[in-house]
Amino acid sequence: MNGSTRDLKPSSDGHHRPQNDPVKVWCDGCYDMVHYGHANQLRQAKEMGDYLIVGVHSDAEIRKHKGPPVFNEKERYKMVRAIKWVDEVIEDAPYVTTLETLDKHGCDFCVHGDDITCDASGLDTYRLVKAAGRYRECKRTAGVSTTDLVGRMLLLTKNHHQGPSYDPANKEEASSIGQDPTTHSPWTGISQFLPTTQKIIQFAEGKEPKPGDKIVYVLGAFDLFHIGHVDFLEKVKALGDYLIVGLHSDQVVNQYRGSNYPIMNLQERVLSVLACKYVNEVVIGAPYSVTGDLMDHFKVDLVCHGASSYPSDLDGKDPYEVPKKQGKFQIVKSGNNLTTLHIVDRILKNRCEYMLRNNEKETKEVEFVKSMANSPENSSDANNNHEAISP
């Protein structure tokens, strides 16, 4: 961790605590449709301290300040608890972060990305902790936002499969999902994710299985990584010691799902799955069928699949034929019937409501930027009251 961060660690009464006292860090947010951008923020925040507490807003708070969430609060609480850098989750956290909240949970400072979050009145939700010097900043993950993902579901295109090099003909149309035609926020809207090996290394556990470990293998799309996936992976991990997740390529997923699936491209899905605390390793672009060579290479002891049905491979064969013949296949019921298709259905049924929510969010951000630009003194004060930390 960063030694300068520890030096800045104040106690609630303004005195400095002993150097060996653990640094508690606070993050908060909606964490709706949790994706690798959320996970990367929490990863960076954890690096600034020893213990990470994450406050998650209730459905009522989100509706009041932002609009309807896609996932309900129980789903969102559990999703955040499954992120491997999170030590504790505080339910029903207030939308505006206060010093009282930090002190109540023994946190030294709050961490947020270098974008702006506004409350219902259009004010910065972190203004109070910034003014008190108990705010730190991390880099926002470019190329993803809940607004972006909602836009992909509404557009029914495959442009997001092409990675960072594509130049979609309907980029203007896509942007309009998250942007009012007369406004352009630097944080809301469609952007491009640029995958790097460094980012994968930061998310990966980096530990190999120990001798004697029971290795479990599962595979699938794991698109829009959600609470249904988490419940399944939790049950599967309990069957062994080391869990490997095979992720199908975009082309393979599109073959059996059609339309614009997967909503998230392969690189994005890799990071989302790696952020889950139950996952030890990911196979990128895994074959649709589980082969004997794959099982031998990874020394797989058990292959699992959920209770849902699955299509045959292109040659008409059962993709789990090999592990079944070896007596190493098991169906695992997660107890959760939520699928990626259900999530898309939620969005499409409430298309107008989510488009209105995204446009209103965009407008508030732009108005905030304008107000800061017109007030150099306030802008300077805001910059002096927080510290930017590189990822």
Provide the pLDDT for residue 92: 97
Contacts of 259-263 with C-beta under 8 Å, sequence gap 24+, read 259/156, 260/152, 260/155, 260/156, 260/157, 260/158, 260/160, 261/221, 261/223, 261/340, 262/161, 262/221, 262/223, 262/340, 263/149, 263/152, 263/153, 263/160, 263/223, 263/224, 263/340, 263/344
Provide the pLDDT for residue 119: 80
Provide the pLDDT for residue 191: 44
27 pairs with which residues across the strands? 54
The pair of three-digit structure tokens given for residue 94, joined into one six-digit string: 């207030």
For the residues 217-238, what does the mean pLDDT come to?
Answer: 96
Residue 169 pLDDT > 90, yes or no? no
Contacts of 129-132 with C-beta under 8 Å, sequence gap 24+, read 129/97, 129/98, 129/99, 129/102, 130/382, 130/385, 130/386, 131/381, 131/385, 132/99, 132/385
Q: At which residue do the structure tokens 């960076």 appear?
A: 44
Provide the pLDDT for residue 382: 42
- Quick: pLDDT tens for 96-154: 999 999 999 999 999 998 877 878 788 899 999 999 999 999 987 766 666 677 777 77
Q: Which residue has the higher pLDDT, 375 or 66?
A: 66
For the residues 160-171, what does the mean pLDDT come to?
Answer: 46
SS3 assignment, position 302: strand
The pair of three-digit structure tokens given for residue 297, joined into one six-digit string: 């290479």
Distance CA 299, CA 213 (A): 10
The pTM (predicted TM-score) of the whole model is 0.78
Helices (H), the chain: 3-7, 36-47, 59-65, 73-81, 99-104, 127-131, 146-155, 171-178, 197-203, 227-237, 250-257, 266-274, 292-298, 321-325, 340-349, 351-373, 376-384
> Shortest CA distance to 273 belongs to which of 239, 305, 248?
248
- Quick: pLDDT tens for 49-74: 999 999 999 999 998 888 888 899 99
Per cent of the chain over pLDDT 90 is: 54
C-alpha R_g of the chain? 22
Side chain identity at residue 368, one-letter code: F
Provide the pLDDT for residue 344: 84
For 170-218, give the secondary structure using H, E and C: CHHHHHHHHCCCCCCCCCCCCCCCCCCHHHHHHHCCCCCCCCCCCEEEE
Provide the pLDDT for residue 247: 98
Provide the pLDDT for residue 122: 82
Distance CA 42, CA 138 (A): 9
Distance CA 49, CA 245 (A): 30
Q: Which residues contact 194 (CB under 8 A, 6 or more apart)?
A: 142, 143, 164
Using the 8-state DSSP alphabet, how is residue 353 labeled?
A: H
Within 10 angstroms of residue 354's Cβ, the number of other Cβ atoms is 23
Confidence grade of residue 302 (pLDDT, cut at 50, 70, 90)? very high
Contact by Cβ (8 Å): 27, 112: yes
Q: Which residue has the higher pLDDT, 216 or 162?
A: 216
Q: Which residues contact 31 (CB under 8 A, 6 or more apart)?
A: 38, 54, 56, 76, 79, 80
Confidence grade of residue 18 (pLDDT, cut at 50, 70, 90)? low
219 pairs with which residues across the strands? 246
130 pairs with which residues across the strands? none
**229 Cα distance to chain centroid:** 13
Contact by Cβ (8 Å): 143, 192: yes
Contact by Cβ (8 Å): 153, 348: yes
The pair of three-digit structure tokens given for residue 220, joined into one six-digit string: 């699938």
The pair of three-digit structure tokens given for residue 326, joined into one six-digit string: 């070896």
Provide the pLDDT for residue 12: 42
Provide the pLDDT for residue 223: 93
Q: Which residue has the higher pLDDT, 346 or 377?
A: 346
Confidence grade of residue 170 (pLDDT, cut at 50, 70, 90)? very low
Q: Minimum mean pLDDT among 193-197, 245-249, 289-293: which range?
A: 193-197
Residue 183 pLDDT > 50, yes or no? no
- Mean pLDDT, the chain, rounded, equals 81
- Quick: pLDDT tens for 230-270: 999 999 999 999 999 999 999 999 999 988 889 889 999 99
For the residues 308-325, what does the mean pLDDT come to?
Answer: 95
Residue 335 pLDDT > 90, yes or no? yes
Residue 383 pLDDT > 50, yes or no? no
Provide the pLDDT for residue 165: 41
- Quick: pLDDT tens for 71-95: 999 999 999 999 999 999 999 999 9
Q: Which residue has the higher pLDDT, 98 or 9?
A: 98
Side chain identity at residue 272, one-letter code: S
